[in-house]
């Protein structure tokens, strides 16, 4: 992982949409082997070990200051997800692979990353060189997409 | 296989597995039930992974790892395939002892 590549991913992340332009997200780029190992200990969903993990975090207090309750309760999640998506697309564009992870113990991740009170991890994005490109799960439109009005259940 | 090297590495790897299992015990409370078998098999895979570097484990360790990974794959196909795969894995394990 070159620092230029990581810089591109972070640049993509901070240009993601942000509800009310709160930009209450915080990103922690983790590359040290011991830190990655410790993250994996508390994050069952984290594959690997990857050479890099980007923790997408949110400052809930800041989000509430800038976006009230909607900001803290919902926009923090939307913003983190959109930032993570940007990271993954930017990674794909430079030939990297990613895995976005929500299965982790938040307290453990906070300890490993030394997050201050009020800053919570929302998603972890593992980044690395893909050993293989797995075939994607199927997707369907029928019963999922509707014209004008919803039909069915 | 006799112990030859990297006991420190083995300790570290096993500690990681312990952390993984404990963290899973907590996170699984809020996750889909399918993840229970997944986390258990992943714990097994990580334990098996740690053996060769420390010079321990049966000679068939690579095959065992392959079988565990196949069972993990089957978990995401259908339940019948998964049951059959794990049944076969259990047979393989018993043959090692």
Q: What is the pLDDT of residues A24-35, one digit of tens each?
A: 999 999 999 999
Angle ∠(B47,B53,B58) on CA atoms, nearest 5: 65
- What's the pLDDT at B84? 95
CA–CA distance, B12 with A33 (Å, rounded to integer): 12
Helices and strands in chain B: count of H runs, count of E runs: 4, 0
Residues in chain A: 153
Q: Is the pLDDT of residue B6 over 80?
A: no
Task: Kindly indicate the confidence band of residue B52, based on its pLDDT and cuts at 50, 70 and 90.
Answer: confident
| A76-93: average pLDDT | 98
- What's the pLDDT at A128? 96
Least confident stretch, A70-84, A90-104, A112-126, B46-60: B46-60
Q: Is the pLDDT of residue B3 over 90?
A: no
Q: Which residues pair with A29 in a beta bridge?
A: A54
By the 10 Å C-beta count (0-12 exposed, 13-18 middle, 19+ buried), A90 is classed as buried
Contacts of B19 in chain A (CB under 8 A): 38, 40-42
**Given CB atoms, is A41 within the 8 Å cutoff of chain B?**
yes
**Given CB atoms, is B42 within the 8 Å cutoff of chain A?**
yes
The answer to whether B24 contacts A44, with C-beta atoms less than 8 Å apart, is yes
Task: Kindly indicate the confidence band of residue A44, based on its pLDDT and cuts at 50, 70 and 90.
Answer: very high
- What's the pLDDT at B2? 52
CA distance B65 to chain A (A): 15
B2 CB neighbour count, 10 Å cutoff? 5
**Given CB atoms, is A105 within the 8 Å cutoff of chain B?**
yes
Task: Kindly indicate the confidence band of residue B5, based on its pLDDT and cuts at 50, 70 and 90.
Answer: low
B68 close to B61: Cβ distance less than 8 angstroms? no
| A103-118: average pLDDT | 96
Q: What is the pLDDT of residues B14-47, one digit of tens each?
A: 999 999 999 999 999 999 998 999 999 999 999 9
CA diameter of chain B: 41
B75 close to B34: Cβ distance less than 8 angstroms? yes
The answer to whether A40 contacts B19, with C-beta atoms less than 8 Å apart, is yes
Task: Kindly indicate the confidence band of residue A133, based on its pLDDT and cuts at 50, 70 and 90.
Answer: confident
The answer to whether B26 contacts A41, with C-beta atoms less than 8 Å apart, is no
- What's the pLDDT at B88? 94
What is the ipTM metric for this complex? 0.77
Task: Kindly indicate the confidence band of residue B60, based on its pLDDT and cuts at 50, 70 and 90.
Answer: confident
The answer to whether A44 contacts B12, with C-beta atoms less than 8 Å apart, is no
Provide, rounded to the nearest whole percent, the portion of chain B with pLDDT above 70: 95
CA–CA distance, A88 with A91 (Å, rounded to integer): 5
| B41-56: average pLDDT | 89
Mean pLDDT of chain A: 95
End-to-end CA distance of chain B: 13
The answer to whether B26 contacts A43, with C-beta atoms less than 8 Å apart, is no
Across chain A, the runs of DSSP E, i.e. the strands, are: 25-30, 52-59, 97-101, 119-128
CA–CA distance, A47 with A55 (Å, rounded to integer): 14
Q: Is the pLDDT of residue A106 over 60?
A: yes
Please report the domains of chain A, with CATH numbers, ordered by start residue.
Answer: 3-128 (3.40.109.10)
Q: Read off the pTM.
A: 0.88
DSSP A47-86: -S--SEEEEEEEEHHHHHHHHHHHIIIIIHHHHHHHHHHH
Q: Is the pLDDT of residue A151 over 70?
A: yes
């Amino acid at each position: 992982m070159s620092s230029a590549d990581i810089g591109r991913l972070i640049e993509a992340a901070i240009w993601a949409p942000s509800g009310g332009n709160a930009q209450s997200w915080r990103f922690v780029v983790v590359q040290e082997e011991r830190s990655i190992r410790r993250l994996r200990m508390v994050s069952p969903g984290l594959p690997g070990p990857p050479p890099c993990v980007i923790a997408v975090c949110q400052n809930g207090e800041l989000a509430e200051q800038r976006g009230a309750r909607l900001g803290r309760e919902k926009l923090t999640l939307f913003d983190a997800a959109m930032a993570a998506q940007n990271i993954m697309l930017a990674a794909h564009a430079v030939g990297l692979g990613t895995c976005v992870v929500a299965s982790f113990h938040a307290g453990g991740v906070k300890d490993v990353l030394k997050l201050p009170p009020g800053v919570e991890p929302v998603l972890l994005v593992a980044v690395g060189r893909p050993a293989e490109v797995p075939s994607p799960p199927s997707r369907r439109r029928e019963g999922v997409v509707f014209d004008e009005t919803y039909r069915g259940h | 296989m006799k112990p030859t090297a990297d006991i420190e590495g083995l300790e570290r790897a096993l500690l990681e597995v312990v952390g993984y299992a404990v963290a899973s015990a907590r996170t699984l409370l809020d996750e889909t039930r399918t993840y229970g078998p997944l986390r258990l098999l992943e714990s097994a895979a990580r334990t098996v992974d740690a053996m060769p570097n420390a010079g321990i484990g049966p000679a068939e360790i690579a095959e065992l790892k392959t079988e565990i990974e196949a069972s993990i794959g089957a978990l995401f196909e259908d339940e019948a395939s998964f049951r059959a795969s794990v049944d076969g894995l259990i047979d393989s394990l018993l043959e090692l002892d």
